[in-house]
Amino acid sequence: MKLKRVLLGRLSLGWAILIWSLCSLAGFLFVGFVLNPSLKAWLDLSYWQALGRYGEALRLVNDRYVDANKSKFHHLTNMAVNGMTGSLDRHSGYYDPPSFKAFQDDTQRTYVGVGIMIRKVDAGILITRVFPEGPAEKAGICVGDFIDEVAGMSVEEWTLDRISNLIKGEEGTFVDLLVRSQAGQSRVLEVCRQKIKVASVERFAVDANGTGY
């Protein structure tokens, strides 16, 4: 009888520990989903279906495309993410590590150039920022325009670093840019390189309540 009570006590303790563990796990998952809503995708069947389609497409292109350099997994993934974010709007995009480093360099220093920032998208080399009162703005270049040629050379297959280095140069010199608008109209612009001071805040105003913008 005493042995039976001991066994029942141990069994009850085991169930209590199991129930406590399950409750703790459920609480942990609940808090995780509340604090990080992106985890909810793990429970969404469409997320896994989309991921499966992407994985299959990635495998097929890597296996069957004729150009091995263009079909590497890393290159294909960068193009896929770039295309996905670039199709949202002109303000959204993806920077791979080298491009992001170049972006940081251009936003943290003074350099000689034409006063633009660029990003590679499916449609070409997109101008994502034009610095106020800079050479590019004075030449009529706008955010959303594309650069097709620099100094008479097509930049379609160039890296952003190569394009950026060619646009930059000695202060007071000129560079020819073939610029294409969103409407498809192209024009060649001769832009004078000047010293560009990159400011993290382009415009600043304070209202009556002391709030800055």
pLDDT at 37: 60
Comparing 186 with 27, the larger pLDDT belongs to 186
pLDDT at 104: 66
Percent of the chain with pLDDT over 70: 68
Q: Is the pLDDT of residue 144 over 60?
A: yes
pLDDT at 116: 92
Residues whose CB is less than 8 angstroms from the CB of residue 204 and which lie 6 or more positions away in sequence, other chains included:
212, 213
d(CA 190, CA 182): 20
From residue 87, alpha-carbon distances to 26, 114, 121, 141, 145 in Å are 38, 27, 9, 22, 15
8 A C-beta contact, residue 155 and residue 99: no
Per-residue pLDDT tens for 33-82?
555 666 666 777 787 888 888 888 888 888 888 888 777 888 888 878 77
pLDDT at 61: 84
d(CA 105, CA 117): 11
Establish if 205 belongs to a structural domain. no
* Chosen domain end from 56, 86, 116: 86
Establish if 171 belongs to a structural domain. yes
Establish if 78 belongs to a structural domain. yes
Q: Do 56 and 103 share a structural domain?
A: no
Q: What CATH number should be reported for the domain holding residue 182?
A: 2.30.42.10
Establish if 119 belongs to a structural domain. yes
Name the residue range of residue 79's domain: 45-86
Comparing 94 with 212, the larger pLDDT belongs to 94
Q: Do 78 and 110 share a structural domain?
A: no
Establish if 211 belongs to a structural domain. no
Q: Do 177 and 147 share a structural domain?
A: yes
Count how many residues are written for the chain: 213
pLDDT at 176: 95
Per-residue pLDDT tens for 164-183?
889 998 999 999 999 999 89
Establish if 92 belongs to a structural domain. no
- Pairing mode, strands 124-130 and 110-113: unpaired
Q: What is the mean pLDDT of the chain?
A: 76
pTM: 0.50
pLDDT at 156: 86
